[in-house]
Amino acid sequence: MTPQLEISGLTKRFGGLTALSHIDMAVDGGEMLGLIGPNGSGKTTLLNIVSGYYDANGGTLSYEGAPILGRSPHELARLGIGRSFQVTKVFRRLSVLDNMMVAGLSDWRAHRKEAEERAHAILKDLTLDRLAHAPASSLSGGQAKLLEFARIMMLTPKLVLLDEPFGGVHPELKRFMHDHIRAWNEAGVTIVLISHDMGSIFGLCRRVVTLSYGDIICDGTPEETRNDPAVLDAYLGD
Ligand code: ADP
């Protein structure tokens, strides 16, 4: 079976710094994969390339069997690749509902009613429906994180890349977010999760890839990762 995402020899340099060095990695449809590593190891850079925000200096990237390097974030979103950002990117001056509508694609203009119904259903699921007409600037930090999840769902993604979604989130909200991530995955959505929160990574993911200085130093189960001396070394040197 062709993996959903296939990364081969992927290399990214920033000036003299090699942020990713010949990365090879395959992700099957329906996986829940954790991506960990000390600060600066290349996690966000990898996500930025897969979601079309950065170009690469070498290597190939294919999604559902087709090459995608060089495609724009918008095109990739259309193909079903959704992502969140470490710092939420909601449009603060727009209402919550309008944030959902702009997350959608232009052809929704012709189907505004259906899109709005869909937006309301997703907001309800994330307990944001009563805030649909409030400006996004009035949301708390946690609510803004949920809105970002809601916007990703608006695109009916097949692969979701989450970059530190739990940063600054209180434990109750974190559990709520865990439940949603699990529910997406159970519905067949592939998840790639970057987090420094090892409890979340080991609790949610069946496979964990560890980066250090732009190299994959471990690719295994949570158990294998926890017991890998190279992983321990990388974190101790952090
Ligand atoms: P992580 O997400 O694991 O903390 P990053 O992918 O953010 O790591 O960064 C990997 C390396 O690439 C770091 O040394 C970082 O400083 C560098 N880097 C990331 N983005 C840029 C950029 N836009 N310009 C220059 N250097 C960058």
Q: Give nearest CA residue, ligand 1 atom 7.
A: 44
41 CA closest ligand 1 atom index: 3
46 CA closest ligand 1 atom index: 6
pLDDT in tens, 211-226: 999 999 999 999 999 9
Cβ atoms of residues 27 and 43 within 8 Å: no
Task: State in Å: Cα 15 to ligand 1 middle.
Answer: 11
Neighbours of 16 (CB within 10 A): 5
Radius of gyration of the chain (CA): 18
Q: Give nearest CA residue, ligand 1 atom 20.
A: 45
Does the C-beta of 118 come closer than 6 Å to ligand 1?
no
Does the C-beta of 21 come closer than 6 Å to ligand 1?
no
What average pLDDT does this structure show over 134-156? Answer: 92
**How far is the C-alpha of 174 from the C-alpha of 183, rounded, in Å?**
14
The pLDDT, as a whole number, for residue 89 is 80
Domain at 107, CATH number: 3.40.50.300
The predicted complex's ipTM stands at 0.98
Q: Give nearest CA residue, ligand 1 atom 21.
A: 14
Does the C-beta of 12 come closer than 6 Å to ligand 1?
no
Reported as a pLDDT band with limits 50, 70 and 90, residue 86 is: confident
What average pLDDT does this structure show over 152-179? Answer: 94
- How many domains would you assign to the chain? 1
Domain that holds residue 142: 5-236
Does the C-beta of 41 come closer than 6 Å to ligand 1?
yes
Reported as a pLDDT band with limits 50, 70 and 90, residue 134 is: very high
The pLDDT, as a whole number, for residue 85 is 83
| Best residue among 14, 83, 212 to mutate for probing ligand 1, ranked by most atoms within 8 Å of CB | 14
Model confidence at 87: pLDDT above 60 = yes
